[in-house]
Structure 1
Amino acid sequence: MSSFSREIRSFLVVSQSDSIRAAAERLNISAPALSRQLQLLERSYDTKLLVRSAGGVALTAEGAALRDEALRWMAADAAFSKRLQQAGKKTDLRLRLGVMEGLVGTLIPRLTTRLEALYGDVELDLAVGTTGDIIAHAEALELDMIVAFNMPRLSRLVVVETQEYHLGAVFAPSLPLQGDGPLALATALKYPLCLPSSALSMHTRLLAEILSERINPRVRISSNSISALLTFLRQGAGLGFLTWPDVCADVEAGTLCFRPLANRRLTETLSISICRGNNLGDTTGVVVREISETLASLGR
């Protein structure tokens, strides 16, 4: 149903036609009936809107102003109607999501904003921990989806998307290592290190690369908590090795710096997985898309 009068709608058709007769044919009414509508509109605004001649019909200055204003009204009305329709389609969403600790501060706030725009009230039930911790939650049927690094292939999980991220050197701006280019691992190892413990999947491969440099590093702290490592790194306690999603919020805030490692193939594979028997139903594909696009928005 249109929010605008029949006369306004007819006037807009006339403004886009060569003659009253042509406009009447488009409106499927008689020319005299259309003329009466236009006369009623002119009386309503107490001004001349059209000039009729043997050559057709033309808008007066007032008619052109009304046409432009009416088009703006109709565009605003259409946009408002669309917003109402979208609001009417919103439904609450509860998402049980397993996620690595390093992604909580970067992925989750942005994902929540996107999901709330689609579904209104969103309840996120987060299971945060290492890959092993998250798998345990999935085996207990406590999760709908998982976003985690280096997930194994399990019968209860369907991996729908993967993305590789390089490990990079992470450090406070106070360390004299700032720059855009890759950083040699040997240079990074001159500083005290804040390293992931063996509980984290990156530990073994990272340690092998460090040992290949034949340098005895100074380890300031090792932890299975990305948050703990980030806390020490922000304080300038040393240098660490993490992925871009782990640190992008800190880099954007200026509290940490990130440089890729030169000539290294140290990568972490981030997976989006669906848990079989999840409670999402028809919303599964939409949630996967929103997670994927949110990760893409992080960059690198």
Structure 2
Amino acid sequence: MNHVSLRYFVEVADCGSIRQAAQRLHVAASAVSRQIANLEHDLQAELIERSPGGVTLTAAGALVAEQGRSMFRGFDRIRSLVDDLKQLRRGWLDIYCVEGLATAFLPSAIAAFHAKYPDISYQVITAPTDRIAEALLQDECDFGITINLAARPEIKVVASRTEDLHAIVSPSHPLAPQGSITLEEASQHPAALLMASFGVRQLLDQAFARCGVTPRQLMSSNSVAAIKGLVLEGAALALMSPSLIRRELEDGSLLAKPIVSMPRTAYRLELCVHNKRHLSFAARAMLDLLAEQFS
């Protein structure tokens, strides 16, 4: 099987268009079509169906595209290992992370790592913990940062820390003057909360139920940024870890109030890798940096 033909085909599969693939590959569209024809001839199977709107993959084409992507990821890993021997003149890190830490924790770590290894590039994907675990198992990322990950034999937790929920309010909020608040007091004010599918929200709902109170939910969202924005407007309070609003705490635009007289709602942040994945030098070094910052 011709390596070039497979590379061109995977590009077409990703673009859904021969013309767009040709533009990304910086070759003529006819050259792309010719390489796909060669691949179809080698495999004795049709891989694409052409239409005015682009191309669609046949069942055989979908299988070849999936395996081709996996193979090229393997090639990229070989290239990364070679770069290790060349003092890491270039490289790439794929990181999956829960959204809150992608804005409050990860940027400072990447900035510090960039100062030491300026030629490393990053792809950061925000996702729920279950999706991050899947990405680790499917070899889609170097490592992940999760919340309350269920134990899996294939995933190793390199570092973890426990955090407590606080009431997050703006300086103009009625609860701002108090040093701490109860869950009952929090329930009397409009709240912006994570959606019920989130593990942290489930812990919080359990705590409300034990106290016999119901939160006044003004908004629910899967976005920490959206929740934080509403709290900054003074329209609602939030219940989250202060580590997610570190910058706002420093500049005084938000306040974090400990919640007293409530069942413990601590949750665990984890830095995770696939326990059989060979990490590149860049991934190992970044992992060490993140593990140190987790402590």
The answer to whether residue 292 in structure 2 is matched with residue 293 in structure 1 is yes
Q: Partner residue of 2:161? A: 163
**Post-superposition shift, 1:263?**
3.8
1:203 Cα shift?
1.7
Paired AA for residue 225 in structure 1: S
What CA distance in whole angstroms lies between the structure 2 residues aligned with 1:290 and 1:131?
21
1:253 maps to 251
1:187 Cα shift? 1.5
The question of 1:138 aligning with 2:136 is answered yes
1:275 maps to 274
Which residue identity is paired with 1:161?
A
Q: Give the counterpart letter for 1:238 in structure 2.
A: A
Residue 240 of structure 1 corresponds to which residue in structure 2? 238
Q: Which position in structure 1 is the counterpart of 2:113?
A: 115
**2:101 counterpart letter in structure 1:** L
Displacement of 1:128 after TM fit?
Answer: 0.5
Cα pair 1:234 1:256 within 8 Å, conserved:
yes
Which residue in the other structure is 2:100 paired with?
A: 102
Segments of structure 1 that go 5 or more residues without pairing to the other structure are 1-87
Q: Deviations over 1:210-229 (max 9, x none)?
A: 12333343210112221221
- Paired-residue identity, %: 22
Looking at structure 2, the residues matched to 94 and 206 of structure 1 have their Cα atoms a distance apart, in angstroms, of 37
Unaligned runs of 5+ in 2: 1-85
Q: Could you state the TM-score of these two structures normalised by the residue count of structure 1? A: 0.64
Q: Relative to 1, partners in 2 of residues 1:278 and 1:120: Cα closer, same or farther, differing over 3 Å? A: farther
Partners of 2:169 and 2:234 within 8 A in 1:
yes
Question: Match of 2:67?
Answer: none
Write the deviation string for residues 36-78 of structure 1: whole angstroms up to 9, x where unpaired.
xxxxxxxxxxxxxxxxxxxxxxxxxxxxxxxxxxxxxxxxxxx
Task: Say how many residue pairs are matched.
Answer: 209
Give, in angstroms, the shift of residue 279 of structure 1.
Answer: 5.7
Q: Within 1, Cα distance between the matches of 2:105 and 2:216? A: 32
CA drift at 1:291: 0.8
What is the CA-CA distance between 1:278 and the residue it aligns to? Answer: 4.1
| C-alpha distance in 2 between matches for 1:117 and 1:278 | 26
Are the structure 2 counterparts of residues 123 and 279 from structure 1 closer, same or farther at C-alpha, using a change threshold of 3 Å?
farther
Name the CA distance, whole Å, in 2 between partners of 1:95 and 1:170. Answer: 33
Q: Specify the code of the residue in structure 1 equivalent to 2:199.
A: S
- 1:195 positional shift: 1.3
Query: 8 Å contact 1:99–1:134 — kept in the other structure?
Result: yes
Deviates more, 1:272-281 or 1:104-113: 272-281
